[in-house]
Structure 1
Amino acid sequence: MAGLFRQGFGAMLGSLWLLALLALLALCACSPVQVLNALTPDSSYSKTAGIAYGDDSRQKLDVYVPRTALPDAPVVVFFYGGSWNSGSRSDYAFVGEALASKGIVAVVADYRLYPQVRYPLFLQDGARAVAWVRTHIVEFSGNPQNLYLMGHSSGAYNAAMLALDGEWLAAVGLAPTDLRGWIGLAGPYDFLPIKNPAVRPVFFWPDSPPQSQPINHVSRGAPPALLIAAREDDLVNPARNTGGLADKLRAAGVPAQDLYYARPNHITLVASLSRPLRRLAPVLDQVVGFVRHTPTQ
């Protein structure tokens, strides 16, 4: 994940404040995400880390509660990206802080990765994490009836599958209708045939099942969606994935908004949630607006 962040930051040039940050990253022995987290204040939240939602060491989550949390605060469960083969919840403290600073209870969940598991077992993990949140988040001032999923890249895929394919939540006694909505950042929703060699074994290429694609699970009863992408994303085609899914959702009568930003790339889109990089794009403002004013069907 650190390598992907370096590529993303390296592609973002052209302003003094970003150049200064890049210089800091170049001088620091830490990874870019460690720098972002080091520049992220912890005064806006209280954190409970390493809560188990299953027996595996990867089945854990962190909860970020706003310091001034109101009763029945909205809840966002965030799944990070990393091509289903890398990532850690500890890398995304800046996401937890961003949401908590706006009065949202944030949950950042780990899930099992390849080669330990392949599709669809990481979706089972996501569903179990959501079930834990529905049962326990009231203990953290969150409202389980005001629950959203959110993800970046492969994490956006996970969120999409949980929101669109009822099989995964049904296995834990829930349904997509238990979600108020979901948010996808640069998500792959329609990516067969698979071009990325690192992703191919995750989905049993060349026999990747069509049912693994979120776009094939759109139905009229799906929860509302906010889909955001980098206009010049060279890793996940934004027109095919974000645009294609948004169009299909709207055609089915599901409220769906798709937004595209010119300055971020695939990686820095999620990094724009952090305080140092929010000038890249108003992603946080759009997420908060969606949570506060979710459209209805």
Structure 2
Amino acid sequence: MMKTPLLSLLCVLTLMNALPRMSGQGAQAEPITYNTKTNLPYYDDAALKGAAEYQRNQCRMDIYYPGNRTAFPTVIWFHGGGLTGGKRRFPALKNEGCALVAVSYRLSPQGAFPCFLEDAAAATAWVVKNIASLGGDPAKVFISGHSAGGYLAAMVGMDARWLAPYGVSNQQLAGIIPVSAQVTTHFTVKKLRNDTGPQFRPLIDEYAPLYHASKDLPPICLIVGDRRIEFKSRVEENELLAVSLKNLGHSQVEFYEMGGLDHGAVSEGGMIILRKYIKRILGQREKNGASQNAAGEAP
């Protein structure tokens, strides 16, 4: 288990500023410029035929992306709010050489369960299928989010059934990075499924990321705040998921508890780890690809 104490965060942040950006393209004479597309629907006209006005208005996303680079990575970001509130926003990763996708999804009770999971999957599939048209690499798509958004990221990334209707596999994702996510069944989901137990009584059914723990998943990075001041049980649940994944044979799982950060603060503080994690995963992939190519060329 890896933990980042609060006292080291400023040192890490200082070092990060000296690192190359996540685009993996090294130093560039020409500075990176960025474009933004806003309020894009991620359901097509056929899918929205006969849909309620709420779905038409709510199922939108904003995309921030490098305008003069190609093959850049993308971070899909789902906002928090307990699956009942919140608004889409970009994570604190601008000017890092990557694309950011901020997603709105239907909320309860305006939308019927499991609408938010369906929407998260639809938005993810849209990005995988369309980011290349903006210059991005569809093989470098990371799915992330904070709190309830982290729960959605974990569910879509770990349970293959949500992406399957779009002809997309969760194995196509470059990584899953939930930030302070509930990984037992979300407390709002429990209520919607008529569970009458207390909020902090854990339930692990098909709507729990823990239920889908497997060695055959993309790289996973679990980020949480300080267990003394985090959302109750949140750190311990994520720690259990990390241990479970490792015991099942998953070789690319990391867990970080960020000392001194509460449930809200880790939404931004976690970007320190997220940025370095993406860079490291892409670097490992390039290294492995180079090694395979060298082996293939050997006499």
1:228 and 1:210, CA in 2 relative to 1: closer, same or farther beyond 3 A?
same
Unaligned runs of 5+ in 1: 1-42, 273-282
How far does residue 120 in structure 1 lie from its aligned partner after superposition?
Answer: 2.2
1:253 and 1:247, CA in 2 relative to 1: closer, same or farther beyond 3 A?
same
Q: Are residue 288 (structure 1) and residue 275 (structure 2) matched?
A: yes
Match of 1:260 among 254, 257, 261: 257
How far apart are the structure 1 equivalents of 2:82 and 2:125?
24
How far apart are the structure 2 equivalents of 1:244 and 1:118?
30
- Following superposition of structure 1 onto structure 2, how do residues 185-224 of structure 1 map, counting pairs within 5 Å? 185-191=179-185, 194=187, 200-206=190-196, 210-224=205-219
1:230 and 1:240, CA in 2 relative to 1: closer, same or farther beyond 3 A?
same
Structure 1 match to 2:100? 106
Asked if the contact 1:49–1:61 (Cα under 8 Å) also holds between the matched residues in 2, the reply is yes
Asked if the contact 2:105–2:120 (Cα under 8 Å) also holds between the matched residues in 1, the reply is yes
Name the aligned partner's letter for residue 225 of structure 2.
Answer: A
1:126-159 residue CA offsets vs partner (Å, 9 max, x unmatched): 1110111112111222111111100110111101
Structure 2 match to 1:179? 173
Name the aligned partner's letter for residue 86 of structure 1.
Answer: G
How far does residue 166 in structure 1 lie from its aligned partner after superposition?
Answer: 0.7
1:239 and 1:88, CA in 2 relative to 1: closer, same or farther beyond 3 A?
closer
How far apart are the structure 2 equivalents of 1:112 and 1:44?
32
How far does residue 234 in structure 1 lie from its aligned partner after superposition?
Answer: 3.9
How far apart are the structure 1 equivalents of 2:272 and 2:268?
14
How far apart are the structure 1 equivalents of 2:174 and 2:83?
25
Give the share of equivalent positions with the same residue, in percent: 26
Q: Give structure 1 regions of 4+ aligned residues with deviation exceeding 6 angstroms.
A: none
1:44-84 residue CA offsets vs partner (Å, 9 max, x unmatched): 732110000123211100001135x5211001111111000
How far apart are the structure 1 equivalents of 2:246 and 2:112?
31
How far does residue 174 in structure 1 lie from its aligned partner after superposition?
Answer: 1.0
Asked if the contact 2:229–2:263 (Cα under 8 Å) also holds between the matched residues in 1, the reply is yes
Q: Which structure would you say has the larger Rg?
A: 2
How far apart are the structure 2 equivalents of 1:203 and 1:87?
22
1:251 and 1:119, CA in 2 relative to 1: closer, same or farther beyond 3 A?
farther
How far does residue 186 in structure 1 lie from its aligned partner after superposition?
Answer: 0.4
Secondary structure of the corresponding residue to residue 211 of structure 1: coil
Asked if the contact 1:84–1:202 (Cα under 8 Å) also holds between the matched residues in 2, the reply is no
Asked if the contact 2:204–2:210 (Cα under 8 Å) also holds between the matched residues in 1, the reply is no
Match of 1:269 among 246, 262, 266: 266
Asked if the contact 1:76–1:150 (Cα under 8 Å) also holds between the matched residues in 2, the reply is yes
In the superposition, the TM-score normalised over structure 1's length comes to 0.73
Name the aligned partner's letter for residue 250 of structure 1.
Answer: K
Match of 1:52 among 18, 22, 41: 41
1:156-202 residue CA offsets vs partner (Å, 9 max, x unmatched): 1101111111110112111111101110110100157x4xxx66533
Q: Are residue 226 (structure 1) and residue 221 (structure 2) matched?
A: yes
1:178 and 1:199, CA in 2 relative to 1: closer, same or farther beyond 3 A?
closer
Name the aligned partner's letter for residue 58 of structure 2.
Answer: R
Structure 1 match to 2:117? 123
In the superposition, the TM-score normalised over structure 2's length comes to 0.72
